[in-house]
Chains A and B, each alone.
Chain A
Amino acid sequence: MSTRIVVDPITRIEGHLRIDVEVDGGQVRNSWSSGQMFRGIEIILQGRDPRDAWLYTQRFCGVCTTVHAITSVRAVENALGLEIPLNAQLIRNLILIAHGLHDHVVHFYHLSALDWVDVVSALKADPAATAKLAEDLSPWPGNSRRGFEAVKAKLEALVASGQLGIFQNGYWGHSAMKLPPEVNLLAVSHYLQALEYQRKANQVVAILGSKTPNIQNLAVGGVANAINLDNQATLNMTKLYAVRDLLAEVSTFVHQVYLPDVLAIGSMYPEWLGYGAGVTNYLAVPDLPLDAAATTFDLPGGTIVGADFGSYKPMTSWKDERFRDQVVESIAHSWYDGAWTKHPWEEETVPKYGDWEDKGKYSWIKAPRFEGRPMQVGPLAQVLMGYASGHPLFTKYVNYALETLNKLTGKNLTAAVVHSTLGRHLARCLRTQVLADQALDHWQRLAENIGKGDTDIFNPPHFPKGEQRGFGVHEAPRGTLSHWVVIRDGKIANYQAVVPSTWNAGPRDDKGQPGPYEASLLGNPVADTDRPLEVVRTIHSFDPCIACAIHTLDPQGNEVSRVKAL
């Protein structure tokens, strides 16, 4: 007899995601991923000025505001064939890097570490032993015995108060929790320190973007950051150095805390390198352009099919015809009128809500496909493109991680282990290492270009009569993001956003192929169907955030698990 478990809602970020799994013999046999609220924001954009679109698209989601803003201006620029000045590219890049650093650190420490870290167990830790362990792992100066004592005392006070507060809904004492008390105390201490460092990354977004959430410095054609080194009100050396100092501090944290933590925690859960692969077709788009015309990029894009590094096909341009032509979305199992599979430029959004039917329609999310295949997107896809293309930074960090994991586990792991639940956490961490190095490099490029006397930030757009079609891409923290726009006589005629969590969280398509979340759960162990921690681990490894696909207004609050026996 199999048991059906519903985990609803599953995210700690805004957005209402429901996961249904059938468990038999302690393993997941079938699964469904469902977005539970219709959003339909594309409708708002119809008839508007394409130069205004980014102000609305960045309100898709309150967490990834920046990425939707920048992707929107890129889409309109693509439709017009409009180049932007080098300063504008580099300022946008710095904002995107800072946002990525912020988002990845938050995801690991604040949104998913508690799937692996048992906070209550940290109470049994010896602070001196924790300090010794930490010193072996990293040169980070924030690992003192007194610091660990203070955190332990804070935790003791919290537990004594009877209100676990932030740690309320954890799976404490679950049989799948395996870290020794000292590692748990280390992780809780770094949870608190990470709050400080993610904030520094976000300050960079605020300085360059003028505000966060919802940056204000964009324009179709460039940025609105006036550059004048002699003016206090503009981007000047003082502000540039404030940005540099913040990025340097965050980079140190990322190298000396985030990486050692992921490797140490990961080495104690090696079995999770064997679960959660799911869809092993990967897609990433090139990002961080290095020139005004965007002909070379610092982050490589491309595709890999069937976990085969040899199948790597690079994507080297934002005008890539293969990408332009091969993205479609299916609504065969989504609550929209019809059963079509269409290109984003041709889509219409006509909602038609029905019941949740496991063989019929069951989600508000559409099912995107590339060359007919479901694709996994996200940091793992990005790291694989970097590794397959021989990108020096990705290669360096992947090799370092494997060497360290082999040392810690005594195993002989190869790069193939990244196709897994833990592999996604590892890849996110490695991408963060690369971004941390690139942050300082892109800052240097901007400072040098301004130093040459170039202060250009904007090329004005011109809207011809007739129709233009464009797409803008960004390799966002959760993966490939694309906005698709059709402009007619200077107004928006159609607008679609195909977001990372649509690629990953989407339902089955017209051929019945499951999406990445669904496929990743098959074969997952579930020790206790009342507390399906293992399901949560695999889904959280994707960094689920589906506010941009859907929106939450959930009157049930934090209902964690409903169990139905079939």
Chain B
Amino acid sequence: MIPADPLPAPGAPRVTPPRTAVVALGSIVMGDDGAGAAVLAALEAGWDLPRELERLDLGTPGPYFAEYVRDYEQLVVIDALRSPGEPGEVKCFDESTLRAVPAGDRLTPHVLDLGEALARLAFEGRAPAKVRVVGIVPDAVRAGTELSASVRSAVPRAAMAVAGALEDLGIEAVRRARSEEPVTWWSRPPRRISPAD
């Protein structure tokens, strides 16, 4: 989590790619709210990603969001969306959209207000230069470890959108010829144990 090298001086030639993180938000025990973690798992299973690319499963960090992302120059945030739309719809936007959202209107349910978090980082002088958000419109947000059918079928599309956002940010994401099985341990059925006498 601690960056290996300091921020370059303004105008200095870069020797390393910008520090970048893919951030999954949402609760994996609240149905479609956990879409972010499922998309991150699909991304890691289906794409070869640079070792330096941080992948953060942050759950529902509320006001702590800023603290976990303050060392990155670029962020791709994956989350269930608050905006209207068809369940399973994938929507992408960037920091200009975030800045245009009035204070108090939250695009995603998990950062008190992504704009507010970025404003705090800006006040500290640590705002990421580029932010991309890949969101899925949820169907059912209620206690449960599984996604609804519409959101589940949207996961590959959303992972593709995240890979596209990474390419756009100069981070190489190479589609594997064959995807591995995504690790979504939380949605596995309960394992069986045999009690001893």
Contact = CB atoms under 8 A, between A and B. Distances in A.
Interface in A504-544: none
A491 interface: yes
A206 B67 CA distance: 13
Interface stretch (B14-22, B151-159, B185-193): B185-193
A253 to B, nearest CB: 16
B8 interface: no
B26 to A, nearest CB: 9
Given A12-B112, A59-B29, A558-B103, A111 B190 contact: no
Given A40-B143, A213-B58, A62 B27 contact: yes
A244 to B, nearest CB: 17
Contacts, number: 129
Interface in B61-106: 61-64, 67-68, 82, 103-106
B195 interface: yes
B132 to A, nearest CB: 21
Interface stretch (A141-149, A230-238, A460-468): A460-468
B103 A168 contact: yes
Contact of A551 (B30, B61, B103): B30
Interface stretch (B45-53, B116-124, B174-182): B116-124
A555 B141 CA distance: 13
B113 interface: yes
A49 B63 contact: no
A557 B105 contact: yes
A158 interface: yes
Contact of B60 (A55, A490, A547): A547
Interface string A38-60: 11110110011101100110011
Interface in A49-85: 49, 51-52, 55-56, 59-63, 65
A49 B61 contact: no
Interface stretch (A194-202, A355-363, A450-458, A475-483): A194-202
Given A12-B112, A65-B59, A199-B67, A41 B106 contact: no
A552 B26 CA distance: 11
Given A44-B145, A49-B190, A55-B186, A63 B61 contact: yes
A489 B193 CA distance: 9
Q: What range describes how many residues of A lie at the interface?
A: 35 or more
Interface string A8-35: 0000111000000000000000000000
Contacts of B142: 38, 40
A1 interface: no
B123 A158 contact: yes
Contact of A13 (B57, B63, B143, B196): B63
Contact of A198 (B58, B67, B106, B109): B67
A46 to B, nearest CB: 9
B114 to A, nearest CB: 12
Interface string A146-161: 0000000010001000
A565 interface: no
Contacts of B60: 14, 61-63, 547
Contacts of B110: 14, 62
A168 B116 contact: yes
A61 B27 CA distance: 8
Given A158-B123, A165-B116, A214 B190 contact: no
B59 A59 contact: yes
A111 B57 contact: no
B24 to A, nearest CB: 12
B128 interface: no
A552 B59 contact: no
A463 B193 CA distance: 9
A106 interface: yes
A52 B186 CA distance: 10
Nearest to A552: B109
B48 to A, nearest CB: 23
A63 B197 contact: no
A206 B64 contact: no
B151 to A, nearest CB: 15
B195 A59 contact: no
Contacts of B106: 554, 557
Given A14-B62, A61-B60, A213-B58, A202 B67 contact: yes
A110 B62 CA distance: 12
A175 interface: no
Contact of A558 (B113, B122, B123): B113
Given A13-B63, A547-B62, A166 B116 contact: yes
**5 shortest interchain CB distances as A-B pairs:** A165-B119, A62-B60, A558-B104, A490-B195, A14-B62
Given A62-B110, A158-B123, A213-B59, 11 more contacts: A14-B110, A38-B142, A39-B143, A44-B143, A49-B190, A56-B145, A59-B27, A59-B29, A62-B60, A166-B119, A491-B190
20 contacts: A13-B63, A14-B110, A14-B112, A43-B143, A49-B191, A49-B193, A52-B190, A59-B186, A166-B120, A203-B1, A213-B61, A463-B193, A463-B195, A464-B197, A490-B195, A491-B190, A551-B33, A554-B109, A557-B113, A558-B113
Interface of B: 1, 27-30, 33, 57-64, 67-68, 82, 103-106, 109-110, 112-113, 116, 119-120, 122-124, 141-145, 185-186, 190-191, 193-197
Interface of A: 12-14, 38-41, 43-44, 47-49, 51-52, 55-56, 59-63, 65, 106, 110-111, 154, 158, 163, 165-166, 168-169, 192, 195, 198-199, 202-203, 206, 213-214, 462-465, 489-491, 547, 551-555, 557-559
